[in-house]
Structure 1
């Protein structure tokens, strides 16, 4: 008896040998396999557990419709929609425990949608000729996907590509055996932050909230962390969110590739999740440290955080733009929202006397927040810095009020 089952997905009309090799490795390690064909024109050498016809139909279409489209992009989007719907249905039915998808650009395009459809905690592996490529925008990457470059394997098996394929096969089976899926039986709070040298509120807030009966997950707001946070918020996984590091939104509107997407700061509101929001690192735009500063930010002061990451200080005009963007994202929230505005600054470097202090920029941002704050948001101004105890104390006091009134429940 096999202990875990892996769903192996790909275009079996052109990648039959490679996909069967992956399946053989999984079986050789004691796992079981289910196969799904996302081909359009051709047929596999042997039948798959889930045929291309079943895949297309799961998305409300058909293989004939894909062929009749006369466009390979349109055809593969039909298959992406069907594969995503079918895989989610099969996972909910307990058919498989982990997923592996093989492809070039076409297969990878489908794989990203398919992996995005499955919950966090389901092992998802993509073997691709474009793994880690800038072709893949951050917002297309599922929060917990694993990728490996399919080196030397564009056409046919060889010893080079077998090294990648066998690693991926063993990795997904091992992950399926070892994974401890999220346990949502305990109410979960999602918090965004950066490291303790920049933002410190999590040091006191996390244990205090845990003492109140909650589990707290802190997301590193550097692009993919925000995607994971937004993905869970969209599912309604959080009892409440403490979204105190909105910098990814600023990155996005200023053109940085370190983005969590245009929908950052919207999914908690859309799901009706209670939100507490603040301004951690609102004044900085992160960009890739080994690349040139984006043209929009040229000439502005730069802080090199490390060799991977640098930050540009926003001008007062740009901070007003950030304030408007935050207010705009929060305006559609269906649940309660409190925006804490610490008037003395939003990161450790911008304190009075600090290396990135800009009193005029902070004042401009605060003025714009006051002017643009939507009616559905409660604005709380604090004569404190975000890293001061007074900030965390007020957050806890308001959170306790939410608990007392039943807005959040332990």
Structure 2
């Protein structure tokens, strides 16, 4: 069974040509289409092996090929990573991609892989795949395969690993599932344990008409949701739990990055946001908490998760940060503040109940957030997990989705 899909094979031919030729031979046996993309940062005499040479890829860098072929390996890798990402984003025939690399090659190839839409098969064979790979994967659906040995020639071990890699990427195009189910419009929701009641209730009420995709607000969860928004795979976002901002601003371990809410601005997707779990910063076990926070109010969620209550000053800073981000959005945006509490712990009688801290958020957000015909702020006296708050979200979603 042949396929007309095009597989991109990406590596540095100055050091990894033997391995890519081996994979090429295996794909030839299956009559598959492929392109060999060279991302070498040094000029060499093996250009005849490449479908796309490293000089062509380098030409995509904003400062031209000289930014890559500069004689400084560190600078060259960073520059080639930028060039390769721009090159890959300009292609319209990437049906699957396989990369081979050590530490430098992995750092160079995976950012470009992350720019591809979710669903395009992505496999990175890497010497780095046995450690912390979160930065290489980001919010994408990249599969990492550990090379076991260094990628430095064909041997009894590398032959087995590379054969599996070739079969992996071949199978992803030969046996691609043709979707026949007519999907309901997908909406993204963010949830934490302390906002589960709210999000599950919303999902249950919208389930008949929408595909409710829930993301755990752990830093990577928010990034994954916004990746789908950027890829135009979401119909709307109900960002109930924005707690990743707490960790980003105050040293927590489940942080978003500076681009949180950026996909909402870029895509202009209908958006409803709230204050879910903005009352807490997440740390690991107690001994990992920075010394500067030692006198704060903590709650031990489990042996590996320690929660710290945010102060009025921190709430003010978060409100300003979120409001300024949402002010950049030109699509329909509604932000709903539950004055009755931001989480299951932030409730009257609860350990994190602090009307003063919440008021600091509310006052600063109200002052900073610029309301327009498309951008609206709603305050409600109810708690975030209350039936009344859930109903308000549903009603606002029903209105915003009509526009």
State whether TM-score is above 0.5. yes
Measured after TM superposition, the shift of residue 395 of structure 1 is 1.3
Aligned residue runs from structure 1 range 55-204, under 5 A: 55-59=57-61, 63=65, 66-67=68-69, 69-90=70-91, 92-93=92-93, 96-131=94-129, 133=131, 137=135, 141-162=138-159, 164-176=161-173, 177-178=175-176, 187-195=185-193, 198-204=195-201
Give the equivalent residue in structure 1 for 2:249: 253
* Range moving further from structure 2, 57-66 or 352-361: 57-66
Partner of 1:365: 361
Q: Which residue of 2 aligns with 1:40?
A: 41
Alignment-derived partner of residue 2 in structure 2: 2
- Partners in 1 of 2:292 and 2:32 — Cα distance? 52
- 1:21 equivalent in structure 2: 22
Deviation for aligned residue 1:271: 2.6
Pick closer, same or farther for the CA change 1:142–1:370 going to 2, 3 Å.
closer
Gaps of 5+ in 1: none
2:190 is paired with a residue whose SS is: strand
Give the CA deviation at 1:78: 4.2
Which secondary structure state, in structure 2, belongs to the residue aligned with residue 191 of structure 1?
Answer: strand
State the match for 2:12 in structure 1: 11
Deviation at 1:244, TM superposition (A): 1.0
**Aligned partners of 1:240, 1:227: CA distance in 2, in Å?**
15
**Structure 2 Cα separation of the partners of residues 209 and 371 of structure 1:** 33
Written as runs of structure 1 = structure 2, the 5 A alignment for 1:217-236 is: 217-236=213-232
Secondary structure at the counterpart of residue 350 of structure 1: coil
1:77 Cα offset (Å): 4.0
Give, in whole Å, the separation in 1 of the partners of 2:366 and 2:67: 53
Task: Check 1:47–1:278 CA distance in 2 against 1; reply closer, same or farther (3 A cut).
Answer: same
Does the CA-based 8 Å contact 2:61-2:67 persist in structure 1? no
Q: Number of residue pairs matched? A: 398
1:182, 1:50 → 2: CA distance?
35
1:65 Cα deviation after fit = 5.5
Report deviation, 1:11. 0.3
CA distance in 2, matches of 1:151, 1:170: 17
Deviates further, 8-17 or 162-171: 162-171
Q: Cα–Cα, structure 1 residues 150 and 268, in superposed 2: closer, same or farther, change >3 Å?
A: same
Distance 1:193 1:9, change over 3 A: same
Cα–Cα, structure 1 residues 132 and 247, in superposed 2: closer, same or farther, change >3 Å?
A: farther
The one of 40, 51, 54 equivalent to 1:52 is 54
> Cα deviations across residues 85-123 of structure 1 (Å, max 9, x unaligned)?
443444x23xx4321112123212221221122111111
In structure 2, how many angstroms separate the alpha carbons of the residues matched to 1:237 and 1:183? 15
* Structure 2 equivalent of residue 315 of structure 1: 311
CA-CA distance at 1:53 after TM superposition: 2.7
Where 2:269 maps in the other structure, the secondary structure is coil
The residue matched to 1:323 in structure 2 has which SS?
helix
Query: Residues of 1 paired with 2:28 and 2:286: CA distance?
Result: 43
The alignment's C-alpha RMSD in Å is 3.2
- The aligned residue for residue 387 of structure 1 is 385
Judge conservation of contact 1:36–1:50 (CA < 8 Å) in 2.
yes
Ranges in structure 2 where 5+ consecutive residues have no aligned partner: none
Q: Deviations over 1:373-410 (max 9, x none)?
A: 3334422111111111101111112222234xx42xxx
Q: Describe the shift of the 1:64–1:295 C-alpha distance in structure 2 as closer, same or farther (beyond 3 A).
A: same
Q: Secondary structure at the match of 2:118?
A: coil
Residue 63 of structure 1: how far off its partner (Å): 4.5
Query: Which residue in 1 is equivalent to 2:281?
Result: 285
CA-to-aligned-CA distance 1:159-180 (integer Å, 9 cap, x gap): 4545544444443344443567
Bigger CA drift: 216-225 or 356-365? 356-365
Contact 2:271-2:332 at 8 Å conserved across structures: yes
Q: TM-score, normalised by structure 1?
A: 0.84
Change (3 A) 1:265 1:8: same
Provide the rounded CA distance (Å) in 2 between the counterparts of 1:230 and 1:200.
Answer: 23
The change in CA–CA distance for 1:9 and 1:241 in structure 2 (over 3 A counts) is same
TM-score, normalized by length of structure 2?
0.85
Q: How far apart in 2 are the matches of 1:293 and 1:179? A: 46
Query: Which range moves more in the overlay, 14-23 or 69-78?
Result: 69-78
